[in-house]
Structure 1
Amino acid sequence: MRVRAVFQGEEPVVLPWNYPHLLHGYLYGAIARANPEFGTFLHEEGFTADHRYKLLVFSKIFSKESKALPGGLKVTPPLTWWFSSPLDAPIEALVKTLVLEGEVCLGNIRLYVEKVEIEGIPDISGKMLCETISPVVASTGAKKEGKLVKRFLSPDDEDFRRVIEVNLLRKAKALGITFDHTININIEPVGKWRSRLFTVQGTNVKGYEGRFCD
């Protein structure tokens, strides 16, 4: 299920560059306020299949106008935000909080909820051109001087597709989805991808945005 939320504000606001971290905190807090039991499970355990997964994703914020400033990104409402999950529970909890509270606070920035809409399931049966709405992060670990160091992969790296494919198959396993045949996930970058540096839960990560076909 994928949901689109639209926020309003009285004037342009400046989102700090680490605002994805603020969105992350808001999202899990909002779920916990509407469904404390599931919120605790999601935060402390998650779904397992060799790794722990939250099975919940969200986009960056899209605006009518934006301008990069030294202290962050100046955006002009209305602001659009997407979040999605294959599970109903986190989506229902998040939508409930958005509707009942009617506002979202990101640090000292207060936004007002204008609308919350559930989007239809797209037809993905044929070949299509897709565009990311948040950076795609793919990484591998390598030992360096006895320590495990993460290496973030670009779409040009030969391991990029493999890492994404393994991640998707593990998440399918966590959902109890099994396949009786080999699945080949084909991701072909189209045009130039842009790198993005940001912070998630105190960790600096590097992701890439762009278009791809499957």
Structure 2
Amino acid sequence: MRIKITATTDRPASFPFNYQYPLQAAIYALIRESSSDYSTFLHEQGYIKDGIDRTFKFFTFSKLKFSPKLRGKTGFDNVRQIEFIFSTIVEESLRHMILGIFSDREMHLRINGKGLKLTIVNVDVLEDLVFSGKEKFICLSPIAVSTMIENDKGRKVPHFLNYMVPGERDRFAENIKKNLINKYETLHNAPYDKKEHHFSFHFDPAYIAKKNGTISKLISFKNDIKIKAMEAPFTVEADPDLIKIGYECGWGEKNSAGFGCTEQIRR
């Protein structure tokens, strides 16, 4: 389930390249307009699966769509309109998001230390899709996948996998699969019984060649947190139920921070 939101600024505005955190905060604020309890639940807790120390918010959002001519050296200048996708697999999240939008049809972002009011001028409810066992997607936001490693102080820390490193490519795809299964089991509160179903995930080699192998993005998030993610078209072969989860609530990790939102490439 997803919606496309279009909003206009109250004045020409500048957006930095790393705007994911203020946009995430604005999304939580919209949900809070409908239900402060549910917004707090999503932000501070989320949905939990027994046996793992990870929670899921089950929503993602795309990058903002700007006119290419607005791109400057440090961000986007003279912005008057933005557009983005909000996607979730949880009906309650979508309901509160829509109710929050229509409470006063405004979004409030804090950009470069200053408040920015946007008027929401259009909300399109997009069609639900049916998936086969093999699909192709483009990234509307980059995909982040991590694993835990031991640093030089003996502490376990997250390491974001780089698909372009041969030794990390298989682990990248395997962690995508594990993440989808964990999401499935959390959503359904039941074991996933098709773990032997064929699964493959690979980014488009022609696109990678076109980009000279440069498909990684380093995103600065809250408090200067650095998140390395991959952005390229990809093909996935998997159980359609897992593909649906990836499409609706995001591929990989950090989905509620604006990672892993994709769009199907229609045949």
What's the Cα RMSD here?
A: 2.0
In structure 2, give the amino acid aligned to 1:168: L
Q: 1:56 aligns with which of 59, 62, 72?
A: 59
CA gap 1:3/1:152 in 2 versus in 1, 3 angstroms: same
In structure 2, give the amino acid aligned to 1:184: H
2:109 is the counterpart of 1:93: no
Structure 1 SS opposite 2:177: helix
Partner of 2:185: 173
Equivalent positions of 1:111-150 (< 5 A) are 111-125=118-132, 127-145=134-152, 146-150=154-158
In structure 1, give the amino acid aligned to 2:102: V
Task: Single out whichever of 129-138 and 66-75 deviates more from structure 2.
Answer: 66-75
Q: Hey, what's the Cα distance between the residues in 1 that align with 2:199 and 2:102?
A: 37
Structure 2 SS opposite 1:158: helix
Partner of 1:151: 159
2:70–2:79: 8 Å Cα contact kept in structure 1?
A: no
Structure 2 SS opposite 1:175: helix
Q: After the TM superposition, which parts of structure 1 deviate over 6 Å for at least 4 consecutive aligned residues? A: none
Equivalent positions of 1:73-88 (< 5 A) are 73-74=76-77, 76-88=79-91
Deviations 1:4-63 (A, max 9, x none): 101123665311233100011111122122112212221222111222111111111012
CA gap 1:207/1:109 in 2 versus in 1, 3 angstroms: same
Q: Hey, what's the Cα distance between the residues in 1 that align with 2:84 and 2:55?
A: 25
2:47–2:56: 8 Å Cα contact kept in structure 1?
A: yes
Give percent identity, aligned residues only: 23
1:64–1:77: 8 Å Cα contact kept in structure 2?
A: no
In structure 1, give the amino acid aligned to 2:41: F
In structure 1, give the amino acid aligned to 2:193: D
Structure 2 SS opposite 1:74: strand
User: Tell me, which stretches of 5 or more residues in structure 1 are unaligned?
Assistant: none
When the two structures are superposed, what TM-score results if normalisation uses the length of structure 1?
A: 0.90
When the two structures are superposed, what TM-score results if normalisation uses the length of structure 2?
A: 0.73
Task: Single out whichever of 66-75 and 194-203 deviates more from structure 2.
Answer: 66-75
Partner of 1:161: 173
Q: Hey, what's the Cα distance between the residues in 1 that align with 2:95 and 2:19?
A: 23
Task: Single out whichever of 118-127 and 128-137 deviates more from structure 2.
Answer: 118-127
Partner of 1:210: 232
1:138, distance to aligned residue in structure 2 (A): 0.5
Count of equivalent residues:
214
Task: Single out whichever of 93-102 and 175-184 deviates more from structure 2.
Answer: 175-184
Q: Hey, what's the Cα distance between the residues in 2 that align with 1:184 and 1:15?
A: 42
**Which structure has the highest helix share of the two?**
2
Task: Single out whichever of 4-13 and 141-150 deviates more from structure 2.
Answer: 4-13
Task: Single out whichever of 131-140 and 147-156 deviates more from structure 2.
Answer: 147-156
Partner of 1:187: 201
Structure 1 SS opposite 2:179: helix
1:189–1:213: 8 Å Cα contact kept in structure 2?
A: yes
1:155, distance to aligned residue in structure 2 (A): 2.4
2:145–2:172: 8 Å Cα contact kept in structure 1?
A: yes
Q: Hey, what's the Cα distance between the residues in 1 that align with 2:38 and 2:203?
A: 36
CA gap 1:212/1:76 in 2 versus in 1, 3 angstroms: same
